[in-house]
Chains A and B, each alone.
Chain A
């Protein structure tokens, strides 16, 4: 009996590696500490009522952002471990198997569990405020999306200590990711972790499209929407077309592994290349899903801190929409070397290059927004300005990669690694950081410390170039991606060492950001205006943090930068007092425990299927069904905030100002 338990435990828990043991111990300590703190301060009820069951888009957004910062830490540690291993030739710091797990989890976490939730976090917190809405279209579904993401991410991360991490690369090409070559449970964690959170992303896509189309404040026509809202819209359009493909692809891979189906196997007539096509039909649009909102953020920031209207609004919108369409016609450029023939390669090379045109036009529009403006170098603006050269260089190397015959030499090399990190860090990460700094006061009512922020900015920026510029040359010198070590003779040592130093500079930059947040929480100055940056769009017209109902009175929109115009008008009118607003009761959605419970059950469904434990998966699946029915039978899901309560809240929030 004891033997059996021991045998099970050694298969169940990942053992034998001091790094992992350390992680296990620290996770256990952290868990105990969290439980202790919550119990000691009697915060369990508060946590449940205010956060776990909330359907308020602002709180959901904040939870997304907290998770994504934790995931940035995890993915960043992965990156630094890889850089340590590669710093010198013939290093034996990490075993190849461990190295393979680390680059796989690094990729998955950074794209799906860091960039996506940070993006959704900003969508949630800001977008409804920008269009003058009181919530998203389906607040309940929104909470469900978040918890599905959360438990999907948990399921993926738990593989680190239980069962073993996936190690077949972030897109898990079969046959390597098939049962024959990856018999462990790691790939199952990969499939279920991504599947569960992916369904959440799909729901968010639908939710936000409806929100934008149906819930804009009166007067806000589509062409008067703030640019960030436009970017959310374009990104969500891509989501609803791309994510179903991912769902199917992962489901089929699972059928291969679980029921012995032959979709992507070599024998039985399966076709692994079909997987590669399918996964990139999702995977390529996916990178545009995350980059477009960054474009939106830059557009907002560049206008605000140049004190100028955004240049070329219409062409910006057009460019974004054309990118969303084109993003679906480029996927083959990820495997020009598969031998699809010259015709196919030419077609996809040209569609890929074509994306540079609208993207380039956007860059010029940002530049000319600054032209004849008054540029203020706040931290959000610094990230925006740094983005431009970084993204332009990254975009140009992307164009080089799109030249199909040349790609035969770039493909799978560090040139490619440097390219996509340049657009993903220089574009997406810089963009979301800029957005985080910019909207932080809207979320929490105070600005982050600018001094520490500038330190973080410079460390990240210098670190970025030091880390990734050498990798272009390493790629041209024949160094392929995903190798866990290399010989001294190759002469790659010095550039790799430089690259590692750069990686650590970015790591220090991250520490500065954490310090900045901690420091600002302790030493901040409360922002009482609700508009600390002299903003242009509606979210700055309400107090910070926004009250639960966002807008006491639904605004009426007349201009693109409506809040800016309103401020101009008020300034022109002099001290004339605004008429006292007339409040009406506000219709609000009620909190619900179902999203949390249902997603937790999904976790057990996933966990059960990972281990082939039907005794766990099937009851949990039934539980999911019961949750769906329970929701269908819930009719009492809304309430009204009465006028006196609105008056009290508004007086408290705006009282200081008046």
Chain B
């Protein structure tokens, strides 16, 4: 129903022919830093930052050029080279720079640049800093491949690339067993999701003979419902893995073991948002499969509430933010599942979330920097005076995420809640509750970190971070304030050619749903103040019999469930296979070997070296052969 609004991409001209350098420059820089070794130790971080700034500059130029073009010519295809040809299938590496992918490219390179700059300060004392920047560049390049691809195969290349880069970065401090385990966990759980994408691609090749977005979008409408649903569910599985949605969410909180800029990059700008991108990009498939669409909405809603729940009871500042990411991505998935009404809002929220979540993660990094890398919020308190800039910028992110009027999140989240109510009252209600819980746990985080009494450990002297860290914070804080206002009236029209038309009136005056949201948010803030603002925070988490808190502290027992359902049975299977290998196969093979060895020892005895012995053997042989012949004649 919306396909007629999709404009055919035009061939690349002018600046657009340089689009590939957006990917190539960081990629080559990553390779250089990794291969050149210690030679680049002194300037590697600066070169890596420059590489991302280059990508950002290109993205900005392309965006500017797109803005000047008429809407029909904004989507540009840039053919790079033919990857390989198999039978009737031809796999091309082609970049698609359209209204959707350019926004992603801007977010990835823009926020990515700020994170690079910030990391110069944050990682200043790490002796493996060069390596860290190489991995960051690899991440940026992989993510750009993911969003700029014009077909699923090339997208998959980037998809796996971010998986690899996230593994390297999450387990960057590999000398810590927890970090190594967290990296492995993220990697393995992502592979489960990747299986979904592989199966989706297989289905596409079988159905359409092509994986390019254009062919899939064009073919989806004629697809049999069964195959459309299967394809949609496979894509959803892929999105769940990458975006840490229930049931593949367990890796996200552990991923906090990585350096904080990594968390900001993964959560705000890159990997975790890839699932939402995938669903929005494949919208034609989902529109042909209402069941899959419903599944997306359910997954989004469940994750939105689960993430918020986890956020309410974690004491680790980064884990609160990680739970919050899950929850916000849940909002985006929910919006993407609603259908045409939600696509633009999903992307809108993704962009504003990119800004304020990067802001808050980097702010949390700044706090950790001042607190000797302590992440336990129970050891914070009263930091608003000690770290003025960090506090103020973090507060902007806080106001944006809870949806304080006219901050970035206010626009994007309210639109999603409105769209959810328009779709289904129950889903809308869940989204509304989610907004309240978000306000509750974020207020808790603010109160525990920046307000109240000092609960600092001995020997900790909080101080403001250097300028190289605070300036990115300030820029992100400005975006956290204004990004929503900036894009509110523009993003729907802008994205219309890429994701379809869906008129949704937006205005500054709150709708009834918007007013209800504000009320719920206010209730959340007040609730948090009642619980955490009025009395001192104990230095250790108090014992509680509240099942909600216990479940939240244990991350909703996700690890236990996974252990019980998957890890345990897999271990049993593996042990059985190992035992069968050792007891059965090894013994059989060894036994055969021993049997032949014994037989040959016996046979060796016949080789005496005495001529007459051999002659006797031959005679026996002749006699036996003769006897057989004669008896055969007689018979």
The yes or no verdict on A and B being binding partners is: no
